[in-house]
Amino acid sequence: MLAGPGIWALGYDGTNTELWEALKNKFASSPDPTHTSLEDFEGSVGGFDRQPTFSGSTVGISATSSSDWSANFANNGYGSLNVSLTDEPSSSSNWTVRLLSGTGVPANNITLNSTGYIGLWIKTINAPTSAQIAVTIDDGAGGTELSSKQNITNDGEWHLYQWDFSGSGWINFSGGNGVINGPTVTLDAIMLYAPNASPEWVLYIDDVSYDPAGPLPVELTTFTASVIGSRVKLSWQTATEINNYGFERCCGEIGFIG
């Protein structure tokens, strides 16, 4: 039920974007029109154009750590952000990685209401023990607020991590008051945490999103390709959680000459 090998099993390499867009529009239309995509990593890193060591708040990782666009995996579409973190041997600090959005400048980022949910999807298979994620929000009322930290699920599937602007657990990061009190706010950064001397951590980030109306939809998707003679069959299935009442399922199939 969770993400399958996807169209990338066909060796999709970021070319033929018209074909891909047509397929995506047909098979992966959003079930939630109120949801705003902040970054979908379709073809570029978008606003996440700084390396993980760029921020002065980043500690514990080596300069060889990297953050680059990747077509290897995607929660949606064909691209994601590939982050690779390695320990800095000369530092005994636990890892705190501030992956800046818009270079950390509020005006570079999409303006959001101060209520709603912000979230993102992560896929990883080698998260260090105790690895965690949070976000920082530039508050229009002044200062930057840090969300609660969530533990990383380390099973190689895509998982949604999201935070309620009105929820508990926000604390002051810099000059803030521990409350998202607006009137409008912007995403400052994705924060990643791991213990000192952790082994290399490779993760993929996709669909950084905001929804003013409530929790982001949890979509379980498969999109698989199989070769039958000279034809390629694409099969898909989604299950979208609807307000905790259950899942709405749908599916489809298309075949064409390979």
- Summarize as ranges the residues that interact with Ca ion (CB under 5 A): 40-41, 74, 76-77, 79, 87, 91, 139, 141, 176-177, 179, 181, 196, 206
* Closest distance to Ca ion from the beta carbon of 81 (Å): 9
CA 234/CA 219 separation, integer angstroms: 19
Q: From the CA atom positions of the chain, what is the Rg in Å?
A: 19
* Closest distance to Ca ion from the beta carbon of 7 (Å): 12
Which lies closer to Ca ion via its Cβ, residue 77 or residue 102?
77
Which lies closer to Ca ion via its Cβ, residue 78 or residue 117?
78
Which lies closer to Ca ion via its Cβ, residue 32 or residue 233?
32
217-241 as b/e: b if 16+ CB within 10 A: bebbbbbebeeeeeebebbbbbbbe
- Taking the CA atoms of 189, 216, 73 and 197 in sequence, report the sign of the dihedral they define: positive
CA 42/CA 102 separation, integer angstroms: 17
* Closest distance to Ca ion from the beta carbon of 71 (Å): 9
* Closest distance to Ca ion from the beta carbon of 116 (Å): 15
List, in sequence order, every residue forming a beta bridge with 124; answer none if it has no partner: 203
Which lies closer to Ca ion via its Cβ, residue 71 or residue 133?
71
